[in-house]
Structure 1
Amino acid sequence: MKIATTRAVIATAAILLTAGTLTACSNGSGSSGSTSSSNASKAKIGLLLPDSVTARYEAADKPFFTAKVASLCPDCTVLYANADGDASKQQQQAESMITSGVKVLVLDPFDGEAAASIVNEAKLKKIPVISYDRLIDSPDDSYYISFDNEKVGELQATALVDKLKKDNVPAGSGILMVNGSPTDNNATLFKKGAHSVIDSSGYKVLAEYDTPGWDPAQAQNWVSGQITKFGSQIKAVYAANDGTGGGAIAALKAANVNPVPPVTGQDAELAGIQRILAGDQYMTVYKAIQPEAEKAAQLAIDLANGKSPKGDTTVNTAKGAAIQSFLLQPVAVTTDNIETTVVKDKFYGADSVSQICTAAYQAACTKYGIK
C-alpha cells in the first residue's frame, strides 16, 4: 500500500453516494460459476472503502468492482463511498446506504472492530455484508475476501532479511518497523508475518510504530525521530505498505542518509515501483486487485440473487467466528520481476509502461527490461 496522493474529500454521505446505472452485460464468469438473474436485475450494491491516502482504492478497487458489477448486472446500481480515514463517517455512509435500500454491502472497514456495528445494522434489515480486503470483527460477515495477509508480512521480511545478508550486513544490526494502522486487522497480520521472519533472523528490531490511519506523514515523522535516536544503527526499514515506505524514505533523505537502506512496501503503487527503479525502495508486495474486486462483485450479485457459494477456506475473526473466505496469493516484487508482474498484468492500465517509464525512470526501465 508512495507518499500518498491526496484524494478529494467528500463532505457528506449524500454526496458520497455516487450512484450510476451501469452498462454492458455478460453471464457471470467469476470463480463461483454463477450468473446474474432477474432477482438482482435492479439491485443497489453498496461499496464502502476506508481511506483516500492509499492510492489503490480509487485507482483500482472501485473501477474494477463497478466494471464487474456492470458486466454481471447491467441495471444494477453501485452506491459508492470512501470513509476518508474516519470510522464515524463510514458508519454514517453505511447507514445512508442501508436507508437507500441496498441489497448487499461490500465493506472495507477503516476500523474492523467499529465496523461490526454496521454489520449488526445491516443484519436487522437482512442485508448481507461482504468483508472486503480487511476483516470485520463480526460473526455475521457473509464472506471475507482478501489476500493471505500473514504471507504478505513474511514476503516483506524475507526479502528484507535476504537483502541484508546478501549485502553482508552483520548479525545484530538494526531494523526499524513501520507497521500499518492499529485499527486495521490486516496490519496486525502483516506485522505477525514479518515478526515470524525478523525475530529469528539474527537482526534486531530497534523500534516499531503502528501508523495511525496508514498516514505517510505520521510514518515520516516517526522515522525522523528514530534517525535522531539511532543514526547509523538503522540498516533497514520494514514498512508495511508503499505509503509508509515513502514516508520513511522521505525522512531518510531529509536526514541526508546515503545510501538509503533497504525499505519494504506493499500494494505496488506507481510511485513505489518508480522508487524501486530509482533504488530508493527495495521491494513491494503486488496484490492482484482486479481478481479481488471482481470476486467481491460476483459474490455481491450472488447474494443479491439469494445464492451463497461456499468459500475456499474459513478465516477466524478476532473473537473466533469462522467466516467463509476467499484468499488470494501476494507476490514480492523487486527490480527483477516488475516486468512479469505489474507490467504483464497492465496494473496501471493499458499504458502501464508509459506511466512507469517517464523520462526520470527511462534509463532504469531499459536496464531492467521494462518495455
Structure 2
Amino acid sequence: MQKAFCIQGSPSLPDFLSSVGLSLDLPSGRSGAFRRTLSSSFDLSPAVVSVAARIMPSAACDRNFGRHVMSRISTGLASLALVTTALFGPAGLGSANADDKPTVGIAMPTKSSARWIADGNNIVKTLQSRGYHTDLQYADDDVPNQVSQIENMVAKGDKVLVIAAIDGTTLSDTLHKAAQRGVKVIAYDRLIRNSPDVSNYATFDNFQVGVLQASSLVKALGLPDAKGPFNIELFGGSPDDNNAYFFFNGAMSVLKPYLDSGKLVIPSGQKTMDKVSTLRWDGATAQSRMDNLLSAYYTDRHLDAVLSPYDGISIGIISSLKGVGYGSGDTKIAYVSGQDCEIPSVKSILAGDQYSSIFKDTRKLAGVTADMVDAMLAGKTVPVNDTKSYNNGVKIVPAYLLTPVVVTKANIRPTLIDSGYYTASQIE
C-alpha cells in the first residue's frame, strides 16, 4: 500500500520552502487551516506550489495534527540536508517551477589558454541570461580528469553537455552512457570523434581559418608578384584535435601552389602533419622544435615566414627567433601567423613581432551554442548551416559554422576594441 507522509521540520523549514517557491501539501481538510497558520506564523508567500512528500503516515497526521505537525515544525530536524532528502530523494532538489530550466554541463579542456577561459565565461553568461543553471569544469588538459568531470555531470542530472574535448577520440564510452540517460551532447569548437552520440557541433569554419592564416603570410611576402624564393617552416596543431587537420589543410590549399612553383621553400622538408604537429598546442614544445630547426637549417640562411596555427605556439616560435637575433639589427623577424587573438599575441602584433592572428568571437559561438541548447530541450530543430563537412568517423555531425576574421596591425582597433571584445587598456 502506498504511504502518504506529513512534513516534520524546524523553524527554518518554512523559510527554506518559501525561498525555493514551495509549500506544504497536507491531508484533505487540514490544508487550509495549516496554510493560514504557517502564513501568520512564518510569513510564507501564498504563491507556492505543493510538495508531494510527507514523512509521517497520513492517518497519524490526521489524528495528531496540532500536536505532532506544528510541534515538529517548531522543534525541527537536525539538518536541512535531511529535509531535502526526505522531500526529494537522493537525486536532490528538483524543480517545482515549470519555468525553471535545467542544468547545462560545460566541459572545457584547460585554463592554460586565455581563449578557453573566455569561452567558458561567455557560455556561462549566455546560458544563465536565458535562465539555465550551469556547471563549468576545466580539466587541466588531463583526459581522465575530463572523463570523470563529464561522468559526474551526467550523474548529477545535467540535461545537455557542451564539451570542448582535450582528446576528441577518448569520449565514446562516456557519451554512450550519457545517451542512455537521454543527455544531449554539443561538441564545442573541437569535434568529438568515433561517437554516434554527438548531437551537434558548434564551431568556426576551420578550413577557412587555415586559408586565412596562409593567405596572410602570402600577402606579407608580396606573393604572387615577388620572385622569391622565400624560406618557410610549418607548424601544426595537436594531432588529437580534429581541428588541427582542418587548419593545416586549409593553409596548404593556399601554400601548395607556391611550394610547387618554388617561390616558397621548406628547407627542413617537414611538411606533413605527422612531422609538424604540436602535441596539446604547447608553446614550449613549439619553441623547442623551432630552436632545432634554426640550428639545423638556418645557420647560413634566413627564415622568412612561419605558419603557426595558434597564438600560444606563435609566442614560442617568436621567442626562439629572437633568441638567435631575429628582429634585432639587420635581421628581420620572420612573418608568423597565429589564431585566437590572445592578448600576448595582440600585443606582439602591435609591437611588430607576430604578423597576424585569427579572431574567433567566442561571444558569438556561445550564442550559437545556447541556441542549440534551447532547440534541443524544446524538441525543436537545432539550427545548423553545415551537414556535410564534419564526419567524426561514425556519422556526419550537423554543425553551425561561424566566420573567422584575420587580424593584423592594420585592423586591431576596429576588430577587437570597437567590437567590445577587448578594451584599449588590455592590449595597448
TM over 0.5, yes or no? yes
CA distance in 2, matches of 1:122, 1:104: 9
**Is the counterpart of residue 156 in structure 1 residue 213 in structure 2?**
yes
CA distance in 1, matches of 2:319, 2:396: 41
CA contact (8 A) 2:390 2:399 kept: no
**Is the counterpart of residue 241 in structure 1 residue 310 in structure 2?**
yes
CA distance in 2, matches of 1:130, 1:40: 23
Partner of 1:331: 405
Partner of 2:176: 120
Structure 1 position 117, deviation (Å): 2.9
1:319 to 377, 386, 393: 393
**Is the counterpart of residue 299 in structure 1 residue 372 in structure 2?**
yes
Amino acid in structure 2 at the alignment position of 1:251: S
Deviations 1:106-165 (A, max 9, x none): 001111111233322211111000011111112321110100000000000011012112
Deviations 1:308-358 (A, max 9, x none): 32422213324262222110000111111111211121112xxx111112x
CA contact (8 A) 1:112 1:134 kept: yes
1:49-128 map, 5 Å: 49-58=108-117, 60-73=118-131, 76-128=132-184
**Is the counterpart of residue 203 in structure 1 residue 264 in structure 2?**
yes
Deviations 1:38-73 (A, max 9, x none): 767241110011122321111x21121111111111
2:333 to 244, 251, 260: 260
CA contact (8 A) 1:53 1:215 kept: no
Amino acid in structure 2 at the alignment position of 1:355: Q
CA contact (8 A) 1:106 1:130 kept: yes
**Is the counterpart of residue 173 in structure 1 residue 230 in structure 2?**
yes
Deviations 1:154-205 (A, max 9, x none): 0000110121126986434321111111111111100000111111123133
Amino acid in structure 2 at the alignment position of 1:293: A
Amino acid in structure 1 at the alignment position of 2:424: V
- Give the SS at the match of 2:411: coil
Deviations 1:8-63 (A, max 9, x none): xxxxxxxxxxxxx9xxxxxxxxxxxxxxxx767241110011122321111x2112
CA distance in 2, matches of 1:213, 1:116: 20
Structure 1 position 303, deviation (Å): 2.1
1:45 to 104, 120, 134: 104
Aligned CA-pair RMSD? 2.0
CA contact (8 A) 2:184 2:376 kept: yes
- C-alpha spacing 1:55/1:167, structure 2 compared with 1 (3 Å): farther
Deviations 1:221-266 (A, max 9, x none): 1101101011124211111011000000001111222321100000
Larger radius of gyration: 2
CA distance in 1, matches of 2:142, 2:169: 13
Structure 1 position 304, deviation (Å): 2.9
- Give the SS at the match of 2:304: strand
Larger mean CA deviation between 90-99 and 199-208 belongs to 199-208
**Is the counterpart of residue 345 in structure 1 residue 416 in structure 2?**
no
Q: Which residues of structure 2 form unaligned runs of 5+?
A: 1-19, 21-96
**Is the counterpart of residue 224 in structure 1 residue 291 in structure 2?**
yes
CA distance in 1, matches of 2:371, 2:225: 48
Deviations 1:51-103 (A, max 9, x none): 22321111x21121111111111xx3211111211222111111111111111
Structure that is richer in strand per residue: 1
Partner of 2:201: 144
CA contact (8 A) 2:102 2:158 kept: yes
1:259-298 map, 5 Å: 259-298=332-371
CA distance in 1, matches of 2:308, 2:168: 21
Partner of 2:425: 354
Structure 1 position 306, deviation (Å): 3.2
CA contact (8 A) 2:213 2:338 kept: yes
CA distance in 1, matches of 2:199, 2:105: 14
Amino acid in structure 2 at the alignment position of 1:68: T
CA distance in 1, matches of 2:306, 2:99: 48
Identity of aligned residues (%): 33
CA contact (8 A) 1:136 1:317 kept: no
CA contact (8 A) 1:43 1:304 kept: no
CA distance in 1, matches of 2:397, 2:151: 23
CA contact (8 A) 1:128 1:142 kept: yes
Amino acid in structure 1 at the alignment position of 2:214: A
CA distance in 2, matches of 1:318, 1:42: 30
Larger mean CA deviation between 243-252 and 208-217 belongs to 208-217
CA distance in 2, matches of 1:121, 1:204: 49
CA distance in 2, matches of 1:129, 1:203: 43
Partner of 1:16: none
- C-alpha spacing 1:88/1:169, structure 2 compared with 1 (3 Å): farther
* Stretches of 4+ aligned residues off by more than 6 angstroms: none
CA contact (8 A) 1:47 1:79 kept: yes
